Amino acid sequence: TTASLSSRNTRNLESFHK
Q: What is the pLDDT of residue 17?
A: 64
Q: Quote the CA–CA distance of 17 and 11 in Å, as a whole number.
A: 10
Q: What is the pTM of this model?
A: 0.13
Task: Give tens-digit pLDDT for 1-18.
Answer: 788 889 998 998 888 766
Longest dimension (CA), the chain: 26
Alpha helices, DSSP H, located in the chain: 2-17
Can you tell me the distance from the alpha carbon of 3 to that of 18, in angstroms, rounded to the nearest whole number?
Answer: 23
